[in-house]
């Protein structure tokens, strides 16, 4: 199956309408460059009439030298009762000076009656005149038939007439919108076939994810003849989101043989997903297909053993095709294959015949029984593996620490940590304040060690998580602390477990610092 597919990204408008997302103007411009590099054909920049930020976006983006994408301004048909040449929305679209514009109009008779409060014929006239007015002034005009599938189910004749009037006005493509996201995949082929019997121009698809099938609906629509494919990065959008371009693009290219982007562009898609996620300031969904960090992660020993023989046994595509990587996880489900693979990743030369491989595996299972978890703390596991091999020196020893939290009637609590550490026979005794007891302990430990290891000044604590892992003991429950740290080169995770949250934090913090010092030592050797 091979046809010309045009990709249309709506992240800057639809994605920006998602709860918890609010892109700044600078965010939108940076995302535009990333999506352009991905090879998407059209980027919907926003609605210039709706807010000043979108208006300014179209002014600023003119200075960008986009290589692959055409920027699109979005709006609606003229307001009922407003002459098209006097309609502010239409004229703002023209003044955006883009090569393409998209307007939406009502294709569901219920919306015409209940929302626009006009009759059906007036709506058809509104659509055709709005498209015609824009088409005389803008090279490309796309028409989003809002609520098309609901409209077709309720009144198929009228829904088709809406499309016909848009085409008569000069629309270069009419897009079938599942605005409420309620259409199921098996419904699409019959509806699209009926549309094609009446509309000979280009068709598009715009699917929402309220029934969790937006991406599937989009792929089915592409197979049924829609050549204009709309979606958003990571599926961000109003309510439950939109069709996810990060799944659509790999499926179109790899599974359906449609060359919508180049091989090199496809490799950028995981990076684009994470970049947009960061600017949206949302936690990364590691389980997202194709681009998530868990998409090609393997945990069960049977799986790991199999993929080392042939990755196709448990991977539907090569992760490198989409810029992702295979990962081997560590857990109580691990086997020797997991240990051997992690050793290779850590550049350790070990053999499955050596006794300590089984010892490391047994140690891993025992620790996880105690509440440790190494899936997000591989630095802690690497340290344990290297200690088993006798290749990690003691960079420092704890003499003792004390953490004090003081709370007075007025004001915020004050946290102070005092610590004594021994480095090479010399004892360092220092104290530090912090935003909490763990932060104070972290600050005091760094302060004590930076005199000996100045490189620790480059380490930042990025994330800190606490989870209660035993029940029924109330505040005396066992807790697991996961710490993510980073320097200017990379990030790493460490873990600690104890009934005492400060002790668990201490374990994770000392592993983090030890890992940093070991990493630098190994890099200096190579």
**Pick from 53-62, 334-343, 387-396: least confident:** 334-343
Q: What is 364-411 written as a DSSP string?
A: HHHHHHHT---TT-HHHHHHHHHHHHT------EEEEEEEEEE--SSS
Distance separating the N- and C-terminal Cα atoms of the chain: 49
Residue range 352-370: mean pLDDT, rounded: 72
DSSP conformational letter for 441: H
Which element (helix H / strand E) includes 496?
Answer: strand 491-498
- Give residue 1's pLDDT band: very low, low, confident or very high (50, 70, 90): very low
- Higher-confidence position of 451 and 308: 451
Interval 98-116 mean pLDDT: 97
- CA neighbours closer than 13 Å in the CB half-sphere of residue 77: 28
Q: Which of 131-135, 254-258, 264-268, 488-492 has the lowest mean pLDDT?
A: 488-492
Distance CA 416, CA 434 (A): 6
pLDDT digits over 431-490, tens only?
Answer: 999 989 999 999 999 999 999 999 999 998 888 888 887 655 566 678 889 898 988 888
pLDDT in tens, 127-150: 999 999 999 999 999 999 999 999
Please say if the pLDDT value at position 368 is more than 90.
Answer: no
Q: Which of these, 430, 519, 416, 436, lies nearest to 481 by C-alpha position?
A: 436
Q: Is residue 341 over pLDDT 80?
A: no
Check: CB of residue 99 under 8 Å from CB of residue 140: yes
Q: Residue 522 pLDDT > 80, yes or no? A: yes
Per-residue pLDDT of 203-213, as tens digits, reads: 999 999 999 99
- Report which of 504, 255, 286 is spatially closest to residue 380, judged by C-alpha positions: 504
Tell whether the model's pLDDT for residue 224 goes beyond 90. Answer: yes
Q: How far apart are CA 318 and CA 308, in angstroms?
A: 13
| Strand duo 414-423 + 202-207: pairing | unpaired
* Pairwise pLDDT comparison (232 vs 333), residue with the higher score: 232
CA distance 233 to 486: 27
Say if CB 299 and CB 333 are below 8 A apart.
Answer: yes
| 3 state SS of 150 | helix
Cα(217)–Cα(186) distance, rounded to whole angstroms?
9
Record the tokens describing residue 224, joined without a space. 């049924």
pTM for the model: 0.71
159 and 199 Cβ atoms separated by less than 8 Å:
no
75 in Cβ contact with 93 (< 8 Å) = yes
Q: Which domains occur in the chain, in start order?
A: 6-280 (3.20.20.70), 297-370 (no CATH), 396-452 (3.30.160)
Q: Is the pLDDT of residue 508 over 60?
A: yes
Region 79-85 average pLDDT: 91
* Averaged pLDDT score across all residues of the chain: 90
| Low-confidence winner among 60-64, 116-120, 312-316, 488-492 (lowest mean pLDDT) | 488-492
pLDDT band of 419, cuts 50, 70, 90: very high
């Amino acid at each position: 199956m091979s046809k010309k597919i045009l990709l249309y990204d709506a992240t800057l408008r639809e994605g920006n309408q998602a709860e918890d997302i609010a892109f700044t103007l600078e965010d939108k411009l940076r995302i535009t460059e990333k999506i352009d590099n991905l090879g998407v054909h059209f980027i919907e920049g926003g609605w210039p009439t709706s807010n000043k930020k979108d208006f300014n976006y179209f002014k600023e983006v003119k200075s960008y030298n986009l290589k692959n994408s055409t920027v699109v301004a979005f709006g609606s048909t003229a307001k009922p009762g407003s002459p098209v040449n006097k309609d502010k929305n239409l004229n703002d679209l023209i003044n955006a000076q883009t090569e393409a514009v998209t307007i939406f109009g009502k294709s569901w008779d219920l919306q015409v009656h209940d929302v626009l409060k006009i009759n059906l014929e007036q709506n058809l006239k509104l659509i055709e005149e709005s498209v015609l007015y824009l088409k005389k002034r803008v090279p490309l005009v796309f028409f989003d038939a809002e609520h098309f599938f609901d409209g077709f189910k309720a009144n198929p004749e009228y829904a088709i007439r809406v499309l016909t009037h848009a085409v008569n006005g000069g629309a270069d493509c009419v897009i079938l919108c599942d605005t409420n996201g309620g259409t199921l995949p098996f419904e699409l082929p019959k509806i699209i076939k009926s549309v094609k019997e009446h509309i000979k121009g280009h068709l598009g698809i715009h699917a929402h994810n309220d029934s969790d099938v937006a991406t599937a609906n989009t792929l089915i629509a592409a197979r049924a003849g829609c050549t204009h494919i709309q979606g958003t990065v990571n599926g961000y959008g109003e309510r439950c989101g939109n069709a996810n371009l990060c799944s659509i693009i790999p499926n179109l290219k790899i599974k359906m043989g449609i060359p919508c982007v180049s091989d090199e562009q496809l490799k950028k898609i995981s990076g684009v997903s994470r970049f947009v996620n960061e600017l949206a300031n949302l936690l990364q969904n590691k389980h997202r297909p194709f681009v998530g960090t868990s998409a090609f992660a393997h945990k069960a020993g049977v799986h790991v053993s199999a993929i080392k023989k042939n990755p196709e046994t448990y991977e539907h595509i090569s992760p490198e095709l989409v810029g992702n990587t295979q990962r081997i996880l560590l857990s109580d489900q691990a086997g020797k294959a997991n240990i051997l693979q992690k050793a290779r990743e850590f550049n350790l030369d070990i053999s499955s015949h050596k006794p300590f491989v089984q010892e490391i595996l047994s140690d891993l299972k025992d620790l996880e029984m105690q509440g440790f978890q190494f899936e997000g703390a591989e630095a802690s596991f690497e340290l344990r593996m290297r200690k088993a091999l006798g290749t990690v020196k003691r960079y420092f020893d704890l003499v003792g620490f004390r953490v004090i939290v003081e709370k007075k009637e007025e004001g915020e609590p004050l946290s102070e940590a005092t610590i004594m550490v021994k480095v090479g026979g010399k004892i360092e005794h220092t104290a530090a304040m912090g935003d909490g007891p763990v932060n104070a302990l972290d600050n005091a430990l760094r302060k004590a060690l930076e005199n000996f290891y100045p490189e620790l000044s480059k380490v930042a604590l990025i994330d800190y998580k606490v989870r209660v892992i035993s029940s029924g003991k109330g505040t005396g429950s066992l807790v697991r602390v996961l710490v993510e740290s980073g320097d200017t080169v990379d990030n790493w995770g460490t873990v600690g477990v104890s009934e005492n949250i400060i002790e668990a934090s201490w374990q994770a913090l000392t592993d983090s610092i030890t890992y940093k010092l070991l990493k630098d030592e190994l890099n200096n050797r190579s």
